Amino acid sequence: MNWPRPPGNEVDVPMTLRGARKDRLHILEFLRVVAPGFRAELIDNARRKDIRDRIEKLVDSCVSHLVAYFQGHGQEIGNHNNEDYSVRCTFIFVSIEAPLTQAPDITGDPNGDGQLESFTAEELIEMFSAFSARATLVAITDFCHSGNVYRMQFRLRVLNDGTGLWQETREWNDDSKLGQKNKIKAPMIHIAGSLRRQQVYETDKRGGYFTNSLAHLKDVSVTLPRFLLNLRELVNVHLTDAKAHATNPLDACAAQIPQIFSNRMWPLDDPGMLSRICLGTI
């Protein structure tokens, strides 16, 4: 299967998800720590419709909290308004609480020419905007260019001493000026694998560096800023190793900086806040 082609590009680029098998294990390890008690339900060969249907059922059942994990490909695309709706994603699986759901194969719908139809940022926002304000949502995204794909109002800025502050995002301000209709009402936190302009990295052995690092965060009873700082440090260890590889080193300029976005200013001095958000006990 190939990447969806951007407008004007006639060259097929094969899709590979080298870290996917490891990521399935690693995300479950992380969720067992941050949200103990989750149970897994397997969905084979999930397509766009499967994910939409699953989200719609969760909306209709009025779930109190949800954790969704997306791993796959992200691709920047443009539009005539030059707005920041420019991430195209094809996912390998989704992990959702109530119950936890995994779809283990490349997600998307073949469009007849060997490519996959995929979700755009607008579609992701539209799906999550259907949840009521009574639900609590957590999204974890391990794909290139994820950044503030849900266009949350705030970004967590972390300082070296482990403290932090919430800063308003440009995407939110742009939406407010444009009167963007689809906004997520439910309290939501988004843990992104990288900045908007960055790729995420993976290997067969380690899986995605971001998801691998989540699995190795054994202590989540820390503040949100400390959690993010620890996560970034672990990702940097992977990048350093990759750049020092003897035969196929990663580019010395490569960078991957995980982010946290939200539409609420969660307390930043409260240890264990992420677990309470994931479990819906706040």
Element spanning 30, H or E: helix 20-34
The class of domain 20-279 in CATH terms is alpha beta
Mean pLDDT of 38-61: 74
SS3 2: strand
Residue 252: how many other CB atoms lie within 10 Å: 7
Whether residue 118 is predicted with pLDDT greater than 50 in this model: the reply is yes
Q: Which of 89, 93, 87, 92 is nearest to 3 (CA)?
A: 89
Q: How far apart are CA 248 and CA 127, in angstroms?
A: 40
CA 136 centroid distance within chain: 16
158 residue type, one letter: V
Decide the pairing of beta strands 164-168 and 116-117: unpaired
In the chain, the amino acid numbered 28 is L
Q: Tell me: the pLDDT tens digits for 143-178?
A: 888 899 999 999 999 998 889 999 999 988 887 766
31, 100 Cβ separation under 8 angstroms? yes
Cβ atoms < 10 Å from Cβ of 185: 15
The answer to whether the beta carbons of residues 132 and 58 sit under 8 Å apart is: no
276 exposure class (CB count in 10 Å sphere: 0-12, 13-18, 19+):
middle
Q: HSE on the CB side for 107, CA within 13 Å?
A: 29
**Is pLDDT of 261 > 90?**
yes
- Tokens for 184? 């997520």
> pTM for the complete prediction?
0.85
Strand partners, 94: 70
pLDDT at residue 40, as a whole number? 59
Say how many residues make up the chain. 282
CB 69 within 8 A of CB 210: no
Answer yes or no: is pLDDT of 102 > 80: no
And the tokens for 33? 């720590």
pLDDT digits (tens, 9 = 90+) for 2-20: 555 555 666 666 666 677 7
Domains of the chain, by residue range, sit at 20-279
Among 216, 83, 66, which Cα is nearest to 132's?
66
Q: What per-residue confidence (pLDDT) applies to 238?
A: 97
